[in-house]
Structure formats: structure tokens, C-alpha cells
Amino acid sequence: MITINVQEAKTHFSHYLDEVAKGESFILCKRNKPVAEIRPIVIRITEKRPIGLAKEAFTVPASFFDELPEETVALFSGMTP
């Protein structure tokens, strides 16, 4: 993180703003005492991400929620059917 004084920030504001856009953070000082932090805003994604690489919407079939056969449950339990 870079420390800059107010005068430096005022003189080269556009440059520092470009650096912030690239992900850099700065401590802004007044008379060499830190008073603020300038950092990029974290943009939160509000739309849902697609599952996998499918172009269309992924749906779970209703049969997914059906009970498993006894043989399968036995295998998960460590028993032999």
C-alpha cells in the first residue's frame, strides 16, 4: 500500500485514480499523518452464476429427489446387499 500526502494526491489525482482502478490502494495523509484510505470498490455480482459450462439453464429432474433403492442405501451404509 502506498502512502501519499494531500498535495501529491491533488496534483496527480487522475494518475492515482487510474491506479485505484487497477486494484492499488493508497493511504492519504495530511501533514504526514494518515487520515484516509483510498481503495477500489468491490463490485458484488447480483446475478446467479450458471452451473457448469451449460449455455442454457440447468434444471434438476424431479426423480433426483426420489428415494434410493435399498441396494444403494446398503452400499452407503457399508453393508453388503
pLDDT grade for 76, boundaries at 50, 70 and 90: confident
Q: Per residue in 13-71, pLDDT tens?
A: 999 999 999 999 999 999 999 999 999 998 887 887 766 776 677 788 899 999 999 88
Q: 13: domain range?
A: 2-38
Tell whether 60 is covered by a domain: no
**H helix or E strand, kind and range, residue 28:** strand 26-30
Tell whether 49 is covered by a domain: no
CATH label of the domain that carries residue 32: 3.40.1620.10
Count of domains observed in the chain: 1
Query: What does the alpha-carbon distance between residue 57 and residue 61 come to, in Å, rounded to a whole number?
Result: 13
Tell whether 7 is covered by a domain: yes
Tell whether 34 is covered by a domain: yes
First to last CA, the chain: 62
Tell whether 76 is covered by a domain: no
